[in-house]
Amino acid sequence: MRTSVRACALVLAIAALLCAAAGCSDGNGSLNGGQGNVRVMLTSDAPVTAATTTDGDDGSTDGDDVLSRLTEANATFASLLARNTDGELVDLAVDLPHTVNLVDLVGGGTVELPAGTLPPGTYDQLVVVITDLELVFRNGGQIALTPPGGGWTRIVRVTPFEVIEGQVTTLEVRFRPRMAFRELAGGFGFFPDFECRTH
């Protein structure tokens, strides 16, 4: 008799755990209990163009020239944050780091980062942090760039968007390559720039 009671108790406990897990998921593997789902699409606002001449007073070469010589620019996106209308920066809960070839974006590609979540509310700013960049050139050369401090951190202004519990908000984060890559005296520099649109 005691064995039957224990078996029933075990079955009930397992059922309770399964119900709790089901209540936290929307069936697509993303959390929505008290959260809003966020999709981040990485794109670019410009194609690679032909090489240009040196144009900087410091002997630097503009981004189009460097891009035209690259096959890969592998950037590691380490974190994304959003600022709510109370002025608080909130981590976008997403599976990062994630490495993206920025040359593919400039060539017309699109990369969707893993699905993330934010608390419901209105947001008016994104912060993008990139921690690593590897450049691969058409001539076979490779260069790894070291970011300043904890990474290349960029504040991206956005038209205020609302995150609603259980619903999906799509953010298109567009890489702006024109001045992102610079060949400087003695090396290369990376100055990422982004704009954001909501869908």
pLDDT in tens, 60-88: 445 568 888 999 999 999 999 999 999 99
Amino acid at the residue 120: P
pLDDT reported for residue 91: 96
> What length is written for the chain?
199
pLDDT category of residue 96 using cuts at 50, 70 and 90 = very high
Say what percent of the chain tops pLDDT 90. Answer: 63
54 pLDDT above the threshold of 60: no
**Phi, psi (degrees; rounded to nearest 5) at 186:** 90, 5
Q: Are strands 152-163 and 142-145 parallel, antiparallel or unpaired?
A: unpaired
Between residues 16 and 72, the one the model is more confident about: 72
DSSP state, 10? H
Amino acid in position 171: L
pTM for this entry: 0.76
Q: How far is CA 110 from the centre of its chain?
A: 12
Strand pairing of 168-175 and 36-44?
parallel
State how far the Cα of 171 lies from the Cα of 88, in Å rounded to an integer.
Answer: 19
Amino acid identity, residue 153?
T
pLDDT at 60: 44
pLDDT at 165 over 70: yes
At residue 55 the predicted structure's pLDDT band, cuts being 50, 70 and 90, is very low
- Exposed, middle or buried: residue 49 (CB in 10 Å: 0-12, 13-18, 19+)? middle
**In this prediction, what percent of the chain has a pLDDT beyond 70?**
74
pLDDT at 7 over 50: no
Q: Provide the 10 A C-beta neighbour count for residue 85.
A: 12
Can you tell me the mean pLDDT for 150-173?
95
Give, rounded to a whole angstrom, the gap between the first and last alpha carbons of the chain. 60
